[in-house]
Amino acid sequence: MSRTVLAWVVERVDAGERVAMASVISASGSVPGKPGARLAVSSDGTKFGTVGGAGLEMMVENALRDLLKVSASETRKIGGRVETFILHKDGKGKEAVALDSLCGGRVTVAMEVVEPVPHILISGGGHVGRSVAIVCDTLGWKHSVFDVRKEFANDDRYPFAEEIHSGPVSDFFNSGGGKSISRFTDVLILGHDWEVDQEFLIGCLKRNSDGAARIGVIGSTNKWKGFRDAAIKSGIDEMELSSARCPIGLDIGADSPEEIAVAICAEILAMERMPNSDED
């Protein structure tokens, strides 16, 4: 059971979901769940596994759902929880949670939240795009690549990419590749051709109405003004535009592709770890 639960957790996290998981770490007496038993609840509401059923399972499941209500930044500060449950109705007053049961056993459960890593879609596989991919690999983040040029989007250039897409922008959005932008935490538009970048940006904005993906465009404020005007003319409203930003990257005086990649990924890390810092 432990292996199947862990495999389920990995699958959900890889899909970009947060997962709260409970593990029985010690047990004594007559208890339904033995050490190693696990229960996991995903942020989409589904669950998998068991810690023994009955009142214990209900209480643990509710605790896991409560953990998922806490933001990722807060969870990182406070960590998870360890609870000891006494499976007897007369266990009240002890340093444990009493359950309405007659089993008489004692179970200690550790609960934690497993957070997904960023998944970056790199649109434009040139020098900056490749440098961003290297930083992602170093940080343990996932990355995928799109470029209209096959020579800049292939397995040799991006050996660790989750997905590689090459061809016209319209093909990307009409295929499975671009139908769901929400599987990416970030879309970075780093292309060599402003017309390609503009078409890709508008395609992403139209498919990101819920703002699930952060969209960043490399370039100047003048370039962004042109893109913004084109997006509005295509039917994008101000709310949809709010998920995009330009220029991208922290202002660290970056010049080379490698330095720019560090600045971009540092900005993404800041948005992941300190989502409200721009409001201070």
Residue by residue, what is the 3-state secondary structure of 165-220?
Answer: EECCHHHHHHCHHHHCHHHCCEEEECCCCHHHHHHHHHHHHHCCCCCCCEEEECCC
**pLDDT, averaged across the chain:** 88
Domain end call among 80, 114, 148:
114
Provide mean pLDDT across the span 45-64.
Answer: 88
Do 158 and 64 lie in one domain? The reply is: no
Are residues 167 and 98 part of one domain?
no
Neighbours of 143 (CB within 10 A): 25
Q: Are residues 123 and 252 in the same domain?
A: yes
- Packing angle of the helix pair 127-139, 257-273 (nearest 10 deg): 50
The CATH number given to whatever domain includes residue 223 is: 3.40.50.720
Please indicate, yes or no, whether residues 139 and 252 belong to a single structural domain of this protein.
Answer: yes
Among residues 50, 79, 114, which one ends one of the domains? 114
Quick one: average pLDDT of 246-262?
96
Q: How confident is the model at residue 162 (pLDDT cuts 50, 70, 90)?
A: very high
User: Of 87, 114, 141, which residue sits at a domain end?
Assistant: 114
Residue 45 banded pLDDT, cuts 50, 70, 90: very high
Contact of 133 with 160, CB cutoff 8 Å: yes
Confidence of residue 65 (pLDDT cuts 50, 70, 90): very high
pLDDT digits (tens, 9 = 90+) for 109-150: 999 999 999 999 999 999 999 999 999 999 999 999 999 999
Please, are residues 113 and 75 in contact by the beta-carbon 8 Å criterion?
Answer: yes
Better-predicted residue by pLDDT, 13 or 56? 13
Q: Mark whether 50 and 135 lie in a shared domain.
A: no
Q: Give yes or no for residue 89 having a pLDDT over 80.
A: no
Q: Which domain holds residue 16?
A: 2-114
CB 152 within 8 A of CB 131: no
Inter-residue contact 219 to 247 (CB < 8 Å): yes
Say whether both 128 and 264 belong to one domain: yes
Residue 85 has pLDDT above 70, yes or no: yes
For residues 87-110, average pLDDT? 60
Q: How confident is the model at residue 96 (pLDDT cuts 50, 70, 90)?
A: very low
Q: What is the pLDDT of residue 279?
A: 44
Do 265 and 184 belong to one domain? yes
CA pair distance 116, 275, nearest whole angstrom: 15
Contact (CB, 8 A) for 39 and 59: no
Determine the pLDDT at residue 93: 47
Rounded to whole angstroms, the Cα distance separating 160 from 178 reads: 20
User: Do 101 and 173 belong to one domain?
Assistant: no
Q: Give me the pLDDT at residue 198, please.
A: 96
Looking at the structure, do residues 97 and 226 belong to the same domain, yes or no?
no
Q: Sheet with 81-86: list strands edge to edge.
A: 47-49, 38-42, 19-28, 106-114, 81-86, 97-98
- Give the pTM: 0.82
Q: At what angle do helices 194-206 and 221-233 cross, to 10 degrees?
A: 50
pLDDT tens for 170-212 read 999 988 776 678 889 999 999 999 999 999 999 999 988 777 8
Please tell me whether residues 97 and 175 are part of one structural domain.
no
Q: 44-58, 89-103, 249-263 — which is least confidently predicted? A: 89-103
Q: pLDDT-based confidence at 280, cuts 50/70/90?
A: very low
- Asked whether the predicted pLDDT for residue 2 surpasses 90, the reply is no
Residue with tokens 């890390």: 269
Give the 3-state DSSP-derived string for 92-158, with helices as H, strands as E and coil as C. Answer: CCCCCEECCCCCCCEEEEEEEEECCCCEEEEECCCHHHHHHHHHHHHHCCEEEEEECCHHHCCCCCC
